[in-house]
Chain A
């Protein structure tokens, strides 16, 4: 099998896993799910550090640097802001329980 075919196979299988895993998320968690997923899309960071680290010309190095910066913002910001949101959701036994 060519590299491309293997890649396509992995992609299709992963997409199906994604559909199965995510299809029943309650609406309350849609925003954190989206921002968490968004952070995962920053996985490009591993290609970015390679591009920046191995860049053989100044231009490539600059492009790589920009890729590292943008991917890092995506990853760090995405996971942090998701955690911030989920922290609000997680206050257990809030005032709602006293009402019962």
Chain B
């Protein structure tokens, strides 16, 4: 009976994930999975012959309060940070469970395969935990978003991996508790070392991968306790995270290894840094932008991370509404890696009430650009950089981009001429049909909206 109820929970996860894949069914899918989780929890509480009821109840209450508080309070612009934190907490929960299992057991009676699953659970869980919190710190701006690299980094990392493996072997062969704690500590450090060299623009990949890891951590805890609900739930999340990871790396035309180990944006892209300041750009004011937009027939908005930073999603929507009232067609072109997590821009624009059907993905939007009168770029950079198409020496060469330079006029709203995260100069800014509007995205949009009244 217990096993069947766990199976029901696992099935609810599968059905829930399936329904999360469609806009109409997504909300019910999420709820189905939540109900399955509740069933699994109740079954576990009933089945376990629990002695320390106070501890369990206190943990559930504290966790619920913190979870509700976080979920209700978080702003949509901060969603990548929130997901990073949740990933990390899921990871450490699996590692803690494994640690409890180690302390509970007499290692010499434990089969080697169980010890191995405990080690894997601890390793993945701890790496997910610290890795996620480094990602959080980078997203929140507590740590620099630039890659943090130092000489000998690879050697240090290799050493850490060797120590982790050695500790694992020592624990299995020698039934040694101390080895376990060594491994746990090293795993925590590995998580930090793995994420610090990764630049902020690559965060969509990292978050997806850590999401996958949090699932694998749960699955490995399932091996420790021989529990199929954990194994199935964890495997599903592992697969979901991996799919998103692959989608993100494809959208950047890079391999996962390149994202993880290349220290992208750490300097090699800065070759053009000297020349870029000397080239002239056409500066635009809010009035110029309003005139260009107000007399267009079609406008394509290309949002990027700058939009999230400036919290400009509502201002964007207001300007778009004003344009639509003048009979202008407005669409949004959303690159798969725009923002700091997969689908980040879609969530922000949905919050601002932008209709779903106006959001176009890469394949839909790009063919429309040659017929588009005005492209409005809000805090995006690398995803509209023609170097990815034209310059085979560019670090982002081959990355699929929006070919916005083929549109009539391009308005770039940007705080300064500084290069994007990848540290790559953007030839788009110096084109004859590009207007540079140097301002915070939100201020720029509000000023343009005001100016539009006089056009």
Contact = CB atoms under 8 A, between A and B. Distances in A.
Interface of A: 2-4, 7, 10-12, 14-19, 21-57, 59-61, 63-91, 94-97, 99
A11 B306 CA distance: 40
Given A34-B83, A37-B241, A43 B21 contact: no
B178 interface: no
Contacts of B222: 7, 11, 47
A51 B236 contact: no
Contacts of A96: 354-358
Interface stretch (B212-220, B268-276, B370-378): B212-220
B227 A38 contact: no
Contacts of A63: 96, 99-100, 103
Contacts of A66: 59, 92, 96
A44 B217 contact: yes
Contacts of B96: 48, 51, 63-64, 66-67, 70
Interface in B99-140: 99-101, 103-104, 113, 117
Nearest to B53: A53
Contact of B236 (A18, A27, A59, A67): A18
Nearest to B361: A27
Interface SS of B by simple majority: helix
Interface of B: 9-10, 13-14, 16-18, 20-23, 26-27, 29-31, 33-34, 37, 40-41, 43-45, 48-53, 55-56, 58-60, 62-64, 66-68, 70-72, 74, 76, 79, 82-83, 86-87, 89-90, 92-94, 96-97, 99-101, 103-104, 113, 117, 207-208, 211, 214-215, 217-219, 221-241, 243-244, 247, 321, 324, 334, 336, 341-344, 346-347, 350-351, 353-359, 361
25 contacts: A11-B223, A14-B235, A18-B14, A18-B17, A18-B235, A18-B243, A21-B21, A28-B23, A28-B343, A29-B26, A30-B341, A31-B83, A33-B343, A37-B236, A37-B240, A38-B87, A43-B37, A45-B93, A46-B43, A52-B55, A53-B49, A53-B55, A69-B59, A80-B67, A88-B351
Contacts, number: 401
Given A34-B211, A36-B20, 14 more contacts: A18-B14, A26-B21, A42-B90, A48-B97, A49-B59, A52-B55, A55-B100, A60-B100, A67-B96, A67-B100, A70-B90, A77-B66, A80-B67, A96-B355
A86 B27 contact: yes
